[in-house]
Amino acid sequence: MIQKNNYRELKQRLDQKKVKLVAVSKTHPPEEIKALYDLGQRDFGENKAQELIDKQPRLPEDIRWHFIGHLQRNKVKYLAPFIHLIHSVDSIRLLREINKQARKQDRTNNCLLQVHIAEEASKHGFSCEEVKKTVEKGELKGFKNVRICGLMGMATLTEDIQKIRKEFRGLYTFFQELKRNGFNDNPDFRELSMGMTSDYKVALEAGTTIVRAGTLIFGPRKY
């Protein structure tokens, strides 16, 4: 069930700060997504390629689909024709495949580099060092059909706000550093995707530009 009041409050709060909202619709059926669409929401996020491939044709064409989960290279070709932003680019091999499939579609695909900021080893992503080296070596310049729009990060799953704040602030600082040095000639590099239902307030304080919220908007997920 969509939580209309939660949605409206969140949307208003983010609009005031010019922060974008991605409604994370994973596990929720197309009817629920359509109900939120009818309230004006256009950006939706999914974390499983197959689920997104199934849902996309059943929903309005002007939805901007965000991919936020670990993406296998063999699935990229299915998303390349329509995806709006891939938040979870965690390797150069994946980026190369996205570039290849985007070129076939005569498109440029928007991507964020996922940076590993959490304590948990389970979370995917580059380390800050890896991103720095990749940028210094100019490795991203060869990908003409991808647009690197910024960074994405997930904080450790913990109740410890201080810890979450430290991780988000760290990523913000790194983002600013890259904007000045490495992406200084690239106005596309301007998005920072941090914060979900449990920690979006901390992310807002830390300077996020995109919040990805699911539970707050759609209620709990049933797996």
Ligand X SMILES: *Cc1c(COP(=O)(O)O)cnc(C)c1O
Q: For ligand X, which residue of 23, 24, 95, 102 counts as binding (CB under 6 A)? A: 24
Q: Under the criterion CB under 6 A, does residue 197 sit at the interface with ligand X?
A: yes
Question: How far apart are CB 184 and ligand X at their closest, in Å?
Answer: 28
**10 near 217, Cβ under 8 Å?**
yes
Q: Using CB atoms within 10 Å of the CB of residue 74, give its burial: 0 to 12 exposed, 13 to 18 middle, 19+ buried.
A: exposed
Q: Under the criterion CB under 6 A, does residue 215 sit at the interface with ligand X?
A: yes
Q: For ligand X, which residue of 78, 165, 198, 219 counts as binding (CB under 6 A)? A: 198
The tokens for 210 are: 């995109």
Nearest to 49 by CA among 63, 66, 61, 30: 66
Task: Specify the stretch interacting with ligand X by CB under 6 A; choose among 78-86, 97-105, 117-125, 191-199.
Answer: 191-199
Question: How far apart are CB 67 and ligand X at their closest, in Å?
Answer: 10
Q: Under the criterion CB under 6 A, does residue 68 sit at the interface with ligand X?
A: yes
> 182 or 196, CB closer to ligand X?
196
DSSP strand E in the chain: where? 20-24, 43-46, 64-67, 85-89, 109-116, 146-154, 191-194, 210-213
Packed helices 128-136 and 161-180: angle between N→C axes, nearest 10 degrees: 10
Question: How far apart are CB 99 and ligand X at their closest, in Å?
Answer: 22
Q: Under the criterion CB under 6 A, does residue 196 sit at the interface with ligand X?
A: yes
Q: For ligand X, which residue of 69, 150, 153, 182 counts as binding (CB under 6 A)? A: 69
Q: Under the criterion CB under 6 A, does residue 212 sit at the interface with ligand X?
A: yes
**154 near 118, Cβ under 8 Å?**
yes
Radius of gyration of the chain from its Cα atoms, rounded to whole angstroms: 17
> 182 or 208, CB closer to ligand X?
208
> 56 or 87, CB closer to ligand X?
87
CA distance 117 to 128: 8
Q: In the complex, which residues of this chain contact ligand X (CB under 6 A)? A: 24, 26, 47, 68-69, 154, 196-198, 212-216
